[in-house]
């Protein structure tokens, strides 16, 4: 997929997320938004998907914009919001588990897709992706607890659900980081391994005599 197509897809995903969050804010009484802290999501999700563009603008404008990373992060928040808008969390028992697994594939892959540091080994890339995914999973669970768990019907099973979500997030992070590290190594082989393109070495042996003058 071309860079232009990725940028268009990224912008479209961000626009779709904005529309869905606006729908939730304007229709807080709909059953699919009950006890889901949609007002908090409407504040924090736009901030979350703005992190990559802002970081690039202020610190890394000398480098190409990391559109793949930005798209993967945006898709993770979009999928969660779509699940709420379509009431999938309440109507499909396994939807929440699937989201914690799949979205953390996206988030950890997003970290690895940055390709930093360029001289890192594949194992190091995987470790960075899994570590970042684990941190985000912990922050996510803290966010859920603070915003809506204590006053919701889920409070009675929150401990078990939290452990399950953390486990699925960690597993998803491992899968996403492993896949992304493989792709990065294939796409940035010379840079990722710390080796530049091989140069032809001059032949140290003297030229063979031709017998002519």
Which of 46-50, 53-57, 139-143, 175-179 comes out lowest in average pLDDT? 139-143
**22-26, Cβ contacts within 8 angstroms, sequence gap of 24 or more:** 23/85, 24/81, 24/84, 24/85
pLDDT for 35: 80
The residue with greater pLDDT, 203 or 173, is: 173
Mean pLDDT of 183-207: 51
Cis omega (within 30 of 0) for bond into 117? yes
More confident residue, 157 or 191: 157
* pLDDT of res. 154: 63
The SS3 call for residue 213 is coil
30, HSE (Cβ side, Cα atoms, 13 Å): 14
pLDDT band at 180 (very low <50, low <70, confident <90, very high): very high
Give the least confident one: 84-88, 148-152, 181-185.
148-152
Predicted confidence (pLDDT) per residue in 87-125, tens digit: 999 899 999 999 999 999 999 999 999 988 888 899 999
| Least confidently predicted of 37-51, 134-148, 154-168, 199-213 | 199-213
pLDDT given for residue 102 in this prediction: 97
18 vs 196, which has greater pLDDT? 18
Euclidean distance between the first and the last CA atom of the chain, given in angstroms as a whole number: 59
Residue 78 CB partners (closer than 8 Å, separation 6+): 13, 16, 17, 20
* Rounded distance between C-alpha atoms, residue 174 and residue 101, angstroms: 10
| Averaged pLDDT, 72-100 | 95
Pick the more confident residue, 193 or 131: 131
Task: Compute the average pLDDT of residues 41-69.
Answer: 94
Looking at residue 113, its pLDDT comes to 95
For the chain, the domains span 1-91, 93-195
Distance CA(64)–CA(23), nearest Å, equals 34
Per-residue model confidence (pLDDT) at position 86? 96
């Amino acid at each position: 997929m071309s860079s232009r197509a990725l940028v268009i897809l990224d912008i479209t995903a961000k626009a779709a997320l904005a529309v869905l969050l606006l729908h939730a804010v304007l229709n807080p009484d709909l059953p699919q938004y009950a006890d889901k802290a949609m007002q908090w999501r409407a504040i924090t999700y736009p901030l979350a998907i703005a992190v990559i563009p802002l970081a690039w603008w202020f610190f890394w404008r000398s480098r190409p914009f990391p559109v793949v990373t930005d798209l993967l992060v945006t898709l993770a928040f979009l999928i969660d919001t779509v699940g709420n808008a379509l009431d999938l969390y309440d109507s499909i028992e396994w939807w929440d588990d699937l989201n914690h697994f799949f979205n953390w594939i996206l988030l950890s892959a997003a970290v690895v897709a940055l390709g930093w540091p360029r001289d890192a080994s594949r194992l190091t890339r995987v470790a960075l992706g899994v570590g970042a995914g684990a941190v985000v999973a912990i922050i996510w669970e803290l966010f859920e607890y603070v915003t809506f768990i204590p006053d919701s019907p889920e409070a009675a099973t929150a401990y078990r659900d939290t452990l399950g979500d953390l486990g699925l997030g960690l597993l998803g992070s491992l899968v996403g980081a492993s896949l992304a590290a493989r792709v990065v190594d294939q796409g940035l082989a010379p840079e990722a391994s710390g080796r530049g393109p091989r140069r032809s070495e001059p032949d140290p042996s003297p030229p063979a005599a031709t017998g002519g003058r």
